[in-house]
Amino acid sequence: MPEFSAEVTQFIQASWPIVLMGVIFYFMLYRPQQKEQKKRTGMLNSLKKEDRIVTIGGVYGTITALTDKTVMLKIAEKVEIKVSRSSISHYQDSTKNGDNK
């Protein structure tokens, strides 16, 4: 087994806290953010007519038409608005959002 020089041993001892912080950063911040982004992308891709949704701005509506980038929402009788697909926050029905409450 080769012996390490004193400089290599000191470098390893000095750098393990940085490596540990990188691992903690990955598991505490980056990985959960990736999971949430995948969940949101899946929700946006599974939208269909008659889904009841809420926009990021808090507008409640029912989807009447969809394109790749936009959604037509019926927000009141004879009132429809066009919004960006990415502006949709979640479904009104909490069971479709994946909430178990």
**pTM of the model as a whole:** 0.66
Phi, psi of 98 (to 5 degrees): 90, 10
My answer on whether 67 and 96 are in the same domain is yes
Q: Which amino acid is at 86?
A: S
pLDDT value, residue 5 = 81
* Residue ending a domain, choose from 31, 46, 61: 46
Measured CA to CA, the distance from residue 86 to residue 67 in angstroms comes to 12
Measured CA to CA, the distance from residue 74 to residue 52 in angstroms comes to 9
Measured CA to CA, the distance from residue 21 to residue 29 in angstroms comes to 11
Full residue range of the structural domain in which residue 36 is found = 1-46
My answer on whether 7 and 42 are in the same domain is yes
Q: Where are the beta strands (DSSP E) in the chain?
A: 52-55, 60-66, 70-76, 79-84, 88-91
My answer on whether 100 and 52 are in the same domain is yes
* Mean pLDDT in order along the chain per 10 residues (101 residues): 75 89 91 92 93 95 94 95 94 72 44
My answer on whether 85 and 96 are in the same domain is yes
Question: Domain total for the chain?
Answer: 2
